[in-house]
A and B are shown apart, each in its own frame.
Chain A
C-alpha cells in the first residue's frame, strides 16, 4: 500500500553550517541517482546527479555521496544559506533500464539566519 504522510522529515540548521540530507533508496539494481531542490510553490530544480561507478561527486557547494553497500545516498551542502531552505528529494533509476525515475518523499531543510 501507499504510505501517506503530511509531515516531511525536517532538518533545521543555522546559516553558515554544513547540512547533510540523507536518502535511503529502494532498488539494489539502481545505478543512477539525482538530487532535486523544490522551493515552495515551484517546480523541482536539478542539483546534482551521480552514477554507481562513483562514490562521490562534487558541485558548487554541494557534494553527493553514494554508499551502494547500504543503499544510501547523501547530499552535503556547505555553508548553508537561507536561500537553501527548500524540500530536497532524491530520485533513482536503472541507467539502462526501461522504467521512469522513482522519487523519494523528501526532506525539508530550514535555514535560520
Chain B
C-alpha cells in the first residue's frame, strides 16, 4: 500500500463512544487526507493537511476531528456527534500539493455495535 499504514483494519464503535483511526506514512509526503467511502459511492473528503500543525475541513467534516503533530501521522477521531459512522475510511498522502496524485492506505472498516 505504498508506505501508508492504516490501523486497525476493522473497528467497532459503541453508541456515544469516540474512536480513533490511525494513519502513518513513511513516504516523506507533505500532504495527508482522510476520505469516507460508503457502498456504491465515490470518495468524500473529511479533512486534509498540507503541513504539520495545520489542517482543513473537507466536504463532510462534521462529527470528525484530526490532528497533525508529526509529518508522518494523521489520526482521525470519529466522535459521538457523527450519527452515521459506519463506512470504509481511507487515508491518503501526496508528495507536496493537494492537486497531486494520491497514494492510499488499505482502509479501516468502522461499524457501529
Which stretch, B11-19, B61-69, B70-78, B96-104, touches the partner chain A?
B96-104
Distance, CA A37 to CA B90, complexed state (A): 14
Main secondary structure of the interface of A (DSSP, over half): loop
Whole-angstrom distance from the CB of A110 to the nearest CB of chain B?
15
Query: Total interface residues on B, using CB and 8 Å?
Result: 24
- Provide the residues of chain A in CB contact with B90, threshold 8 Å: 43-44
Q: Could you count the A-B residue pairs with CB atoms below 8 Å apart for me: how many are there?
A: 62
B51 part of interface (Cβ distance < 8 Å): no
Query: Total interface residues on A, using CB and 8 Å?
Result: 30
A96 part of interface (Cβ distance < 8 Å): yes
B107 touches A43 (CB 8 A): yes
A43 touches B99 (CB 8 A): no
A43 touches B40 (CB 8 A): no
Identify 6 residue pairs between A and B in the complex whose beta-carbon atoms are under 8 Å apart, listed by A's number.
A7-B40, A43-B90, A43-B104, A44-B43, A96-B99, A103-B43
With A6-B39, A7-B40, A42-B107 known, 19 other A-B pairs at CB within 8 A are A6-B40, A34-B101, A41-B109, A42-B1, A43-B107, A44-B102, A44-B104, A46-B101, A96-B99, A98-B98, A99-B99, A100-B33, A100-B58, A100-B98, A100-B99, A101-B99, A101-B101, A103-B42, A106-B42
CB within 8 Å of B: which residues of A?
4-8, 32, 34, 36, 41-46, 49, 89, 91, 93-101, 103-106
CB within 8 Å of A: which residues of B?
1, 4, 6, 33, 39-43, 45, 48, 58, 90, 92, 98-99, 101-107, 109
